[in-house]
Structure 1
């Protein structure tokens, strides 16, 4: 853990922040593996610090989407009904194990690697996945609102486990499944709801890791020094760039990072 201000953390935060601003993909997809692979941070400390980092950076996105009315609070509530208990359960489990052990570090690293593979796949093939899912559903009778709400709670439960364990999962994966469950909603409303839900989830996870002693506060501050201006810069650049190309480059980067994590 760093004992002094490390400019490379701020530079990493700036680059990740720019990608978040351009693509909307959660910073955890890159920030946690960067901390683990490039800086040698222990996986548990990287996840905990990144969860608080995500809670802070996503709060700004929550304010923007809320002001523009792009939040479906029914979806947010259903997701939280599953994710919050799951996050608390995962934190209880993490508190009861030796987080510095090789086994725990290996579990977090492998889970992180496979989630990055899924995220990369969704970044490139989301349109095809949605088309396949909607084609499979076809002209069947739409499920009842109660059934959709139950599936949304189950999705929240899965995200609560994955995000608390790895800090990844609420972005590309969560949005894709929500688009399948709610095909008639505007994509911006889905994205806005997902971001709003991610704030309490990552905040609970981050506070839980703080409670069990897995937060590096100086590293968190150093990351934020770079990431906040990075997100602003990325948001300003986004309209001038070909987002599809950026997403493909990001997906390929995630695939390489995933390979490094899984090859261990």
Structure 2
């Protein structure tokens, strides 16, 4: 096996292990790693999107079996995210005649979304505390208003994911915690994963149709990530979240700064 191919398998193993252990970090780590391997930004995003769709599908089966998915919330999120993905893909297709311009847009967006993801991970505990306090306060939207906010959240997530392949995990989970503070954590996480699969699948297939896909790279990543996720999931809780979260957030912030500036 060539060194680059071996490196891709190791990258898949490491990212899969981190995702299995922490539940976040998939796209936010994999896309920058692909850039480091010399994959151009558009292809890195497209490849990572299908990688995420495949790896998260197994998570949906587990969460569905354990009744951890609120399909109503998933539906409202998808109502906003899928049209946003299609519009974003259309915008990127208008830049296909100028690959440099498309890669520049994606690279800049990657930097800013990585920053946002780093902040969401670093301040996750405070954001969750805010959500729980709001649950006991006067501001508690419901009915059409809550559905509208959920669709709007899906729209923002869909745009970010189609542009950068990042956002469905850490940012999506935090957004759901704030919108639905009364739902158990396990159901919010399961709902976010259930929404992430069609979101990343549609976005990934759209990028593939534009040629932004490296099937060779995808195959090697999956070879490493599947056992990585299995191993990581068995070590959940063994390493303190208080230690992991700042390290992951700092690394993403540094990568985001380099890409954006």
TM-score of the two chains, using structure 2 as the length reference: 0.94
Deviates more, 1:214-223 or 1:169-178: 169-178
- Deviation, 1:92, is 1.8
Aligned length: 260
- RMSD, aligned CA: 1.9
Q: Answer yes or no: is the 8 Å Cα contact 2:132–2:182 preserved in 1.
A: no
Q: Answer yes or no: is the 8 Å Cα contact 2:47–2:215 preserved in 1.
A: yes
Q: Which residue of 1 aligns with 2:30?
A: 31
Aligned counterpart in structure 1 of residue 109 of structure 2, from 108, 111, 127 = 111
Counterpart CA distance in 1 for 2:130 and 2:66 is: 31
Q: Answer yes or no: is the 8 Å Cα contact 2:207–2:213 preserved in 1.
A: yes
Q: Which consecutive unaligned segments of at least 5 residues does structure 2 have?
A: none
- Deviation, 1:139, is 2.9
Counterpart CA distance in 1 for 2:93 and 2:3 is: 28
- Deviation, 1:20, is 0.3
Q: Answer yes or no: is the 8 Å Cα contact 2:9–2:223 preserved in 1.
A: yes
Counterpart CA distance in 1 for 2:123 and 2:37 is: 31
Counterpart CA distance in 2 for 1:11 and 1:30 is: 13
Q: Which residue of 1 aligns with 2:224?
A: 226
Q: 1:94 to 1:69 in 2, by over 3 A?
A: same
Q: 1:21 to 1:54 in 2, by over 3 A?
A: same
Q: Which residue of 2 aligns with 1:156?
A: 154
Counterpart CA distance in 1 for 2:14 and 2:141 is: 42
Aligned counterpart in structure 1 of residue 211 of structure 2, from 210, 213, 217 = 213
Q: 1:230 to 1:177 in 2, by over 3 A?
A: same
- Deviation, 1:132, is 3.9
1:134-153 mapped onto 2 (5 Å cutoff): 139-140=137-138, 142-153=140-151
- Deviation, 1:129, is 2.5
- Deviation, 1:88, is 1.2
Counterpart CA distance in 1 for 2:131 and 2:97 is: 39
Q: Which residue of 2 aligns with 1:9?
A: 8
Q: 1:239 to 1:102 in 2, by over 3 A?
A: same
Counterpart CA distance in 2 for 1:141 and 1:257 is: 36
Q: Which consecutive unaligned segments of at least 5 residues does structure 1 have?
A: none
Q: Which residue of 2 aligns with 1:20?
A: 19
Aligned counterpart in structure 2 of residue 122 of structure 1, from 120, 123, 126 = 120
1:1-264 mapped onto 2 (5 Å cutoff): 6-36=5-35, 38-98=36-96, 101-132=99-130, 139-140=137-138, 142-263=140-261
Counterpart CA distance in 2 for 1:99 and 1:251 is: 36
Q: Equivalent residue of 2:237, what SS? A: helix
